[in-house]
Structure 1
Amino acid sequence: MSARQGAAGVFRIQGAEPSAECTSVSCDLTAIASDPGAITAVVLAGLVAFVALAYVRGAKEDCRSERTRVLDERDAFNDFADRVAGLDPAPASATTLAFDGPTAAVRTVSTANGGGSTDVRLRRVLAAYRDTVMALPHYREEYDETIPESLAAELGPDTTAALASNGTLSPGAQSALVRRSRRAADARLSLSDAIETEIDALSRFETDLTRVDRRRRRLIEHLDGIAGDRTDAAIDIWQQLGDLESECDEAVEERQLTLNDPPMTVDDLGNGTGPCLFHEYLYGSTEGPRYPVLAEAAEIAEQIRVDRNRLTSRIAGGE
């Protein structure tokens, strides 16, 4: 799920109409109590069911893992840049092909440890890339590329063309490799910051939704502890549960604003579908829901509705 920055500066990643309006509590209670599905829910659901918020917690773990891998890639590109910067380049006359202008078709760069006419400097560049970026545990598994393919994807297709042109490392090629590697590292730092912001947002939603669910359960538990006629208390709790459902709706609205204004765009997922949004990059390939906060809020809101339906049955039965 890790991302890479492409040439464009973005990341590449491997209902029925109501019959009448009724706004009073008694009208709502009567309507719900007359619904057979509500009575069925009373029988099937537990009285104080607990919503575990597994979706949000799982999303936080996925984000933490992804951020770790992105930071590992940042460190690897910085290490690669350091190694390349420390090499002695070939004389300026050794090659004339520049990195930053139009180039011919990319030619294959040998990844062998020796042999042929490949300059020792170039072999050290390839070895440095193999021992830094390509050595990351997740890298080969996720991208499944050769060293030249990865260099072209990460640092631009003209990198391999320039390196292969004369099989050596010119001062211009060396400078461009270092510059682009630093840029790739900086891009991953920006991405890690965006992921950290997402983790903070998930933590806030987890806190808010946990509070809503805890309040829901305590209201039901409070009703169970009342002796004698509990009709008035049930109606009051029914109304408070409605307020909690509204809080779930507010959380959904707030989250939707974030989804509609992502911090960055992620480039092609590798399947030709083109750029995707930041949250699709984070959650599109995970086992959990693509929108964990929305899924969690919907689950809690559904449990609140089940509880309200159950209370309606109690009230209708005079309990």
Structure 2
Amino acid sequence: MTDDDPLAVLYEAARVLRSERRELADEREAFSQFRTRVGALETTASTARFPTLLADRTRTAPGRTTPDQVREAYVRTVMCVPHYEEAYGESYRENLERELTPELATAITRSEGLSPGLKRSLADCVDRAIDARESLLEFLEAESEAITDAEERLAGIVGDLESVVAQPLDRAGFHVLISSRDRLDSLEDRCGVLLEERQARIRREHSVSVAGIDDTARYLYGSCRTTHPVLAAIAAVCAGIEEGRRTIDRRLAVVE
């Protein structure tokens, strides 16, 4: 179609989803690599009588892990994804706090060694970061399938709409006009079915939180022209159907 293609919002949504899935996959792999590096780090036994996560001040024995080693592993994995600067642009400490909690960030940066308890806490937080991205990737996979389905169904409706309005309606007789109007009504019904399905999906999304994200529409499509691309595409197609119906009605008023 033209620059006014009603499916343009779906093409944009598909591009955004591809980009987000690629970035999440990169982050998941980066955290997995960091998790492997953390697993290989040696620990320092705590000498504190009542050691806690934030009170670990054990002196590091020669050859044992230092905070700089943790930092290097994090910088070379998590902070090395291609989109890091554009998407986050955070310092090591800032990103550590956001991804792994402020408490753990404090413990890692202030402790002189890596106690078994701190190492376990670090591994647990990294696992949660990986799980969150796994959940988001699953959600994005389902959303990508929904966008593709909507695009295919609406493309079929648009094709049928174009075949109706491409007729010489200004010279069409009564029966042709009535048949064409019925076809438009049928196309509108197909849009209605898709609309109900999409709205039901939106309601389900609003009832749950995906990886701590409550507003998934804004998370995914906040940079797009609309945060509800399927609804916008349906509305645009329905507007085309209504325009075609008005054209037919104007002709019917003459031939009747």
TM range (shorter): 0.7 to 0.9
By percentage of residues, which structure has more helix?
Answer: 2
TM-score where L is the length of structure 2: 0.86
* Cα distance between partner residues in 1 of 2:118 and 2:111: 11
* Cα distance between partner residues in 1 of 2:195 and 2:29: 37
Matched, 1:56 2:19: no
The aligned runs of 1:1-319 (5 Å cut-off) are: 51-93=5-47, 97-99=51-53, 121-221=66-166, 223-224=167-168, 230-262=173-205, 264-265=208-209, 276-284=214-222, 286-318=223-255
TM-aligned CA distance change 1:49 to 1:133, over 3 Å: closer
* Cα distance between partner residues in 1 of 2:90 and 2:105: 14
Offset at 1:266?
Answer: 5.6
Q: Contact between 2:9 and 2:229, CA under 8 Å: does it hold in 1?
A: yes
Offset at 1:265?
Answer: 2.3
TM-score where L is the length of structure 1: 0.70
Offset at 1:123?
Answer: 0.7
Offset at 1:143?
Answer: 2.5
Offset at 1:210?
Answer: 0.9
Offset at 1:90?
Answer: 1.8
1:11 equivalent in structure 2: none
Q: Contact between 1:80 and 1:132, CA under 8 Å: does it hold in 2?
A: yes
* Cα distance between partner residues in 2 of 1:189 and 1:247: 34
TM-aligned CA distance change 1:50 to 1:91, over 3 Å: closer
* Cα distance between partner residues in 1 of 2:34 and 2:50: 23
Q: How many residues align?
A: 247
**Structure of higher RCO (CA pairs closer than 8 Å, 6+ residues apart):** 1
Offset at 1:229?
Answer: 5.4
Offset at 1:124?
Answer: 0.7
Structure 1 residues 140-149 or 167-176, which shifts more?
Answer: 140-149
* RMSD of aligned alpha carbons: 2.8
Could you report, residue by residue, the CA deviation over 1:239-268 in whole angstroms, capped at 9, with x for unpaired residues?
220121122122222111111111852688
TM-aligned CA distance change 1:59 to 1:49, over 3 Å: closer
Q: Contact between 1:73 and 1:133, CA under 8 Å: does it hold in 2?
A: yes
Could you report, residue by residue, the CA deviation over 1:170-227 in whole angstroms, capped at 9, with x for unpaired residues?
1211122122212211220111010000000111111111111111112233x4399x
Offset at 1:235?
Answer: 1.2
TM-aligned CA distance change 1:152 to 1:50, over 3 Å: closer
Offset at 1:278?
Answer: 1.4
Could you report, residue by residue, the CA deviation over 1:44-72 in whole angstroms, capped at 9, with x for unpaired residues?
xxxx9984511111101101110111111
* Cα distance between partner residues in 2 of 1:215 and 1:164: 63
* Cα distance between partner residues in 1 of 2:159 and 2:94: 52
TM-aligned CA distance change 1:88 to 1:267, over 3 Å: closer
Q: Look up the equivalent residue of 1:146 and give its one-letter code.
A: S
1:21 equivalent in structure 2: none
Offset at 1:315?
Answer: 2.2
Q: Contact between 2:6 and 2:233, CA under 8 Å: does it hold in 1?
A: no
Gapped regions of structure 2 (runs ≥ 5): 56-63
Offset at 1:94?
Answer: 7.1
* Cα distance between partner residues in 2 of 1:213 and 1:126: 54
Partner of 2:205: helix, strand, or coil? coil
Q: Look up the equivalent residue of 1:224 and give its one-letter code.
A: P
Q: Contact between 2:135 and 2:211, CA under 8 Å: does it hold in 1?
A: no
Q: Contact between 1:76 and 1:132, CA under 8 Å: does it hold in 2?
A: yes
TM-aligned CA distance change 1:54 to 1:313, over 3 Å: same
Q: Contact between 1:85 and 1:175, CA under 8 Å: does it hold in 2?
A: no
